[in-house]
Structure 1
Amino acid sequence: METRKNVWRFLPLIPASGEIQMAIDAWLLQQCQAGKHPPTLRFYTWQPAAISLGYHQKRFPETWRELTENGTLDLVRRPTGGRAVLHEGDLTYAVILSGMTGKRIAVYEKICEFLITGWKRLGIPLFYGQQGRGYREIANCFQTATGADLVSSTGEKLIGSAQLRRGETVLQHGSMQLNPNPELFQKVFNQSPTSPQLNLSHGEIMATLKAAAEDCFHIKLITQPLMGREWEAIKALTFENHSQN
């Protein structure tokens, strides 16, 4: 894999459990920070459906454990911050890159540029949220929109993002709520979803956002699936996380 600054890796869509998805993102961050891997863009879905908790999110309803115990959902902790996200009917993006300096919100805005550009090409203009620090008391990520999140012109939150920085290396991933299941959303958060129902295919969204990323970051994306030795390293990281819990 080339590591020239203007060449990024693009991972084809990966459907997998939340545990595996988080291990992939964590591994990519480690490899990028060590200079062993180029910047990467990827998209993925969660199978089975899952609730992901922010790294520092300590409190959540006991009913969520019951949903995991009866097989309805997985419960996974992200390496990034933020509040809980229900991953069902969504598409997740992840960007991993080095050489990012400056304040956290400035880095968000730099990375989110390709999301705003891509969704505008899909006919949906997006804007940054305005919520302040009070969001920490809210369990549901999509109940509020901070300056790191993107909302529609009518204020509906479409994309919730979270970030982890290791020096100048950044992992930013986020959930794009496309077709949330109202019944499951009600069961988890005791409220109806506020994000719009979008009649767009994953393929159309990914192709548009991929092109937007190339334009906004002035890069070339080279498609390359994860190889066998890479999967082995990711599975080892998953096992290591299990051993620590």
Structure 2
Amino acid sequence: MSDLADQEWRLIRDDPRAGDVQMAVEEIAARTALEDDLRTVRVYSWEPSTLSLGYRQDPETVDWDYCEREGIGVTRRQTGGGGIYHDRNADISYTIVAPADEVPGNLMDCYDLFCQPVLEGLQRMGVDADFAGAEQSSIYQPSCYLRDINPAHDVVAPAGEGADAKKISGNAQYRQRNVVIQHGSISYDLEPAHHVGVFDTDLERETFTDRVTSIREEAGIDREEAVDTLATALGEWCDADESGWREGELEAAHELADRKFGADGWIRNREVLEATER
């Protein structure tokens, strides 16, 4: 349990949602943390499967025809880094939202704090995971899982294999309205065809499987158990109460998704519609 447990937290075992809504609810949770003094940890999945672009990622790196043909949604994150294909079943995602004045101001220290429950959850699943012990150079920069591996926030397994360890989780943070939001993607299973197919480039599937591993590959447990284990570790880390979204939060998230995270202007050019422009 962290020192943050002295504050009021909620744990949300969230329903599968479209990518634009999943990004929007993080900003709504940030508002709740500031206005209602309630912090959030949650575990969630994506429906449909979604490619989330890094904040500054060039839309020309996306194979838009492939995404449309395969029914893969596309949104853009507030965080930087490369694009991540979030498969409906092969990806497990999480979010942590807390006021900035309650967490370390140093980015690396904050990563270290917020990744504690993620590493604990993976250990409980039987995955020998830790922050990367060695840097690995980029294979394909537009892809989060194929760009350079950074010991500061990339989690690999098996942890003891050094430069031969494979990436299992990518994590990123941003600060908004004096709130820190961290989200991360954890590979439960591998879907290499989609991971490389969503990008407008010629990559072999082996390029992905040579760099990335998964919970299923490392520990062999089923997805439901993995999700439950991660959620429990997050909840215990901050002594959160099991809860859900408050009245009005999801409605606000859908409104924000319509004018921002699901809007073509945001996805292609980081443009945000004003409420009167919808």
- Identify the structure with the greater strand proportion: 1
Equivalents in 2 of 1:204, 1:221: separation in Å? 19
In the other structure, the counterpart of 2:244 is 225
CA contact (8 A) 2:171 2:183 kept: yes
Equivalents in 1 of 2:92, 2:80: separation in Å? 18
Runs (5+) with no aligned partner, structure 2: 266-271, 274-278
Is it true that 1:211 corresponds to 2:232 in the alignment?
A: yes
CA contact (8 A) 2:145 2:167 kept: yes
CA contact (8 A) 2:32 2:39 kept: no
Pairwise CA distance, 1:167: 6.2
In the other structure, the counterpart of 1:178 is 188
Q: 1:136 to 1:7 in 2, by over 3 A?
A: farther
Q: 1:135 to 1:104 in 2, by over 3 A?
A: farther
In the other structure, the counterpart of 2:222 is 201
RMSD over aligned Cα atoms = 2.5
Is it true that 1:165 corresponds to 2:166 in the alignment?
A: no
Equivalents in 1 of 2:194, 2:108: separation in Å? 32
CA contact (8 A) 1:100 1:168 kept: no
In the other structure, the counterpart of 1:82 is 81
Equivalents in 2 of 1:72, 1:142: separation in Å? 21
Pairwise CA distance, 1:95: 0.8
- 1:183-194 correspondence runs (5 A): 183-189=193-199, 190-192=203-205, 193-194=208-209
- 1:108-187 correspondence runs (5 A): 108-129=111-132, 130-131=134-135, 138-143=141-146, 144-146=148-150, 147-153=152-158, 154=161, 155-166=165-176, 168-187=178-197
CA contact (8 A) 2:42 2:231 kept: no
Matched residue SS, 2:66: helix
CA contact (8 A) 1:52 1:75 kept: yes
The aligned length equals 237
Matched residue SS, 1:9: strand
In the other structure, the counterpart of 1:45 is 45
